[in-house]
Structure 1
Amino acid sequence: MSEEFIKNANIFISDRSHLNLTLNIYHCGNFDISSEDYFPIMNPDMFTLVYINSGTALLENDHIAVKLTASQGYVAFSNVTYNLRNISEDYLNVTWIAFSGYLVEEYLNRANITVNRPVIDDRDTGCIGKNINRLYMKAHKLPNRYCKMASILYDIFAYLLDKNPTRPLDDFSDCSDYFAIKAVDFIERNYSRNITVDEVANRLGITRKHLYRIFSYTLNISPKQYIINYRIGKACIRLRDTNQSISEIAEATGYINQFYFAKEFKRLTRLTPTQYRNCPVELELFAYQLPPPELERKFSSKQMEG
């Protein structure tokens, strides 16, 4: 054994109430792609790990454009469009595997692989290439191919996590907390613009679906509703503390349309902006306007800038 064997130890891993990473493999393959041709887009609602065995390609989408060579690859996130084009004169050979599962995006993010940083560099060891091609070959051999293929895919994930730790574990214990506080920080600094949930997710390099899960789990609210609540909360302060007109307050809190602002305001407060301004009683509207203090305390200003 390469490590000293530890005897007489009982190690708790999990209990039945906790669900961990699951991986479901759907299909895999190997293609030769002619010069200037594109890697065909697979099922958009799945994750696809694409590995370049030989050749040179250009990977592009709305946020990235990067040149990839042999022993590099990328993860195509579900419902995100990527274009991989062969820019060499020779064939581009790629092996790929399409999969999904519970917590897949969270584990990829922990390995520092995100929507806007999907590239995998395997040029130092070739370990990922060996494993994905071994997985592809196992697909040809029945029976019991699935268990063997799944074990290899788990090995790939374990290798990615070991090789590319996002941050030291003692910085903060939960990536969901990190993304939640980064999203809240972005919203606080940009709520006066007409920002969208997609813009917040793109800023963090994660998908809209992932951002929704993070907010639901961490803050018990959807990202869209958090933005609305935050804007209306800021509008309440302006109505109380300034003499700005309703249209000025609407614009200052990210609403292009004054009438839509008034409608949203009344939906949440049951008062029109004018009624709220004239109401003599101070109203506390939103208990979750800000993240829990214990969540904020996990992060220093230095971490927020990173």
Structure 2
Amino acid sequence: MEIKYEESNKSKYLEPQKKQSVDLFLCYCGSENCTPGYSYGPAIRPQYLIHYIIDGEGSYTVNNTTYKLKKNQGFLICPNVLTYYKADENNPWTYMWVGFNGVKAQTYLNYANLNEENLIFEYSKDDSLKNYISEMLKLKEMDYSNELKLEGLLYFFMSALAETRKDSYNIKTYKSTELYLEKSIEFIENNYSNNIKINDIASYIGINRSYLANIFKRNINMSPQEFLVNYKIDKACELLKNTDLSIKAIAASVGYTDPLTFSKIFKKIIGNNPKSYRESAFPNKI
């Protein structure tokens, strides 16, 4: 697993080049000691992004509202929302950030009472948030062990946020769309090998196909078909890496009756055909 890492006197930046997990995965993380008046935006991001202020002050503007923020406070940026933030001219902030996504990202943020209506938080009980990001930034070389550490640190980060809000979180605040999404993913996880169709998912949930497509687009910015295909290919990658099954058997295992069709889709998503992928991952295996 490749990783991008950059470091200067004022900032650090780490980005895994392939995001493996489905539920929750790190897109990038970093830290910066901002110069007076440094700003970013107006811009939108395709993933969730949390900034946590280590020192200093600044402002965050979203939906025509500006928040003045300081040490131990943080702010959430939601996908595809126009935002702007700026360091104070006299006491510029130093902050750390975590960008992430996944089908459970919104649910986990709700655990921490963070959403489009509540974008600001405060965490002052200890240095956990700072320490988790610092540990992420130390993983400059990626192997299977560090991949798991990186994912675990992200979960610890989310857990720390949720811990401060657990008393205010109420399971009834789940939106019906979130429940539909979770049930859809559950159905895919249990039936992806059976050549299921999007209509099968919609029927199982009890909603129409267009409404299902709207839920997926709004929550994870992809169609149900895109998610299903990517899920199948992720499972195929696992089988190619961890078993000696033939390409035909792997195709059948992830719901493709035609190995040629499977190979074409695999190459479109991964960039290599299944055989080349296996050989490049394990050159001595074949």
TM-score with structure 2 setting the length: 0.50
Aligned identity (percent) is 17
C-alpha distance in 1, partners of 2:169/2:206?
24
Gaps of 5+ in 2: 1-20, 183-201, 215-286
Q: Which residue of structure 1 aligns with residue 140 of structure 2?
A: 140
Structure 2 residue 35 is matched with structure 1 residue 53: no
Q: Does the 8 A contact of 2:53 with 2:71 survive in 1?
A: yes
| Superposed structure 1 runs of 4+ greater than 4 Å apart | 40-43, 166-169, 209-214, 216-219
Amino acid at match of 2:33: D
Amino acid at match of 1:154: Y
How many residues align? The count is: 172
Q: Which residue of structure 2 aligns with residue 220 of structure 1?
A: 207
Q: Does the 8 A contact of 2:43 with 2:83 survive in 1?
A: no
Q: Which residue of structure 2 aligns with residue 241 of structure 1?
A: none
C-alpha distance in 2, partners of 1:128/1:67?
20
Q: CA deviation at 1:105?
A: 0.6
Q: Which residue of structure 1 aligns with residue 96 of structure 2?
A: 95
Q: Which residue of structure 1 aligns with residue 123 of structure 2?
A: 122
Q: CA deviation at 1:57?
A: 0.8
Q: Which residue of structure 2 aligns with residue 84 of structure 1?
A: 85
Q: Does the 8 A contact of 2:132 with 2:157 survive in 1?
A: yes
Q: 1:108 to 1:89 in 2, by over 3 A?
A: same
SS of 2:36's partner is: coil
C-alpha distance in 2, partners of 1:211/1:62?
27
Q: Deviation per CA, 1:173-192, whole angstroms, max 9, x where unpaired?
A: x543xx34xxxxxxxxxxxx
Q: Deviation per CA, 1:21-68, whole angstroms, max 9, x where unpaired?
A: 822212222222222221467871111121112210111111532111
Q: CA deviation at 1:103?
A: 1.4
SS of 1:157's partner is: helix
C-alpha distance in 2, partners of 1:67/1:218?
43
C-alpha distance in 2, partners of 1:212/1:89?
48
Greater strand share, structure number:
2
Amino acid at match of 1:220: I
Q: 1:93 to 1:43 in 2, by over 3 A?
A: same
SS of 2:68's partner is: strand
Q: 1:90 to 1:40 in 2, by over 3 A?
A: same
Q: Deviation per CA, 1:268-299, whole angstroms, max 9, x where unpaired?
A: xxxxxxxxxxxxxxxxxxxxxxxxxxxxxxxx
Q: 1:59 to 1:117 in 2, by over 3 A?
A: same
Q: 1:41 to 1:129 in 2, by over 3 A?
A: farther
Q: Does the 8 A contact of 1:52 with 1:92 survive in 2?
A: yes
TM-score with structure 1 setting the length: 0.47
Q: 1:168 to 1:211 in 2, by over 3 A?
A: closer
My pick for the range that moved more, 79-88 or 38-47, is 38-47
Q: Does the 8 A contact of 2:70 with 2:93 survive in 1?
A: no
Q: Which residue of structure 1 aligns with residue 250 of structure 2?
A: none
Gaps of 5+ in 1: 1-19, 181-208, 226-306
Q: Which residue of structure 2 aligns with residue 164 of structure 1?
A: 165
SS of 2:161's partner is: helix
Q: 1:44 to 1:148 in 2, by over 3 A?
A: same
Q: Which residue of structure 2 aligns with residue 3 of structure 1?
A: none
Q: 1:211 to 1:74 in 2, by over 3 A?
A: farther
Question: How large is the Cα RMSD of the aligned pairs?
Answer: 3.6
Amino acid at match of 1:77: C
